[in-house]
Amino acid sequence: MASKDTKKDETKKKGKPIVLIALMLVIGIGGGAGGMWFMGKKGDGEAHAAEAGAEEAPAAPAGPATYVPMEPAFVVNLADEGGTRYLQADVQLMTRDPLAAAALEANAPALRNGLLLLFAQQYADRLRTREDKERLQTEALAEIQRIMTAETGSPAAEALYFTSFVTQ
């Protein structure tokens, strides 16, 4: 009898590790599959959100900035009455797209014309403060983008900088 009890105990002891290992494998595989399923769903949502965002706003080119100088410097008589006042300004346009830089250079005569007309409408007393110059900078960039959109379908310039600005 003693030998039968010992055999049953040995069989029970041998079976327990196998059952534990099998149980751990099932839990591990199930957990891994569940995690992959959950992460896959999350990734799909992010992918759909990224696609929707790409449709809403085009991504700006991430290349280095290219500066296109508008040479020679702009020299215009200001709109002031009773005296001869003028503005002299050097302007550079910034873009990150090499094709846009070439388009800006190709359309330089139209761009210069637009800026000359805009600058000639200004009054000296409205070009004194930093805010006044920034307002003119914003208006000048809008004029450049308006002309480029009409000519090429793209605004081309991302920024406009005054590298010299003198009123007298």
9-61: per-residue pLDDT in tens? 555 556 677 776 766 666 767 666 666 656 665 445 454 444 544 455 555 55
Which residues are registered as beta bridge partners of 166?
Answer: 88
CATH topology of domain 66-167: Tetrahydropterin Synthase; Chain A (3.30.479)
Instruction: Look up the pTM and report it.
Output: 0.63
Neighbours of 57 (CB within 10 A): 7
Q: What is the CA radius of gyration of the chain?
A: 36
- 13-32 burial, b for 16+ CB within 10 Å, e for fewer? eeeeeeeeeeeeeeeeeeee
The Cα–Cα gap between 93 and 133 comes to: 16
Type of residue at 2? A
Summarised one tens digit per residue, pLDDT across range 58-67 is: 555 578 999 9
Summarised one tens digit per residue, pLDDT across range 119-163 is: 999 999 999 999 999 999 999 999 999 999 999 999 999 999 999
- From the list 111, 162, 93, the residue with the least C-alpha distance to 133 is 162
Question: pLDDT band at 82, cuts 50/70/90?
Answer: confident
Q: Where are the domains of the chain?
A: 1-59, 66-167
Q: Number of C-alpha atoms within 13 angstroms, CB side, residue 74? A: 30
What pLDDT score was predicted for residue 54?
Answer: 47
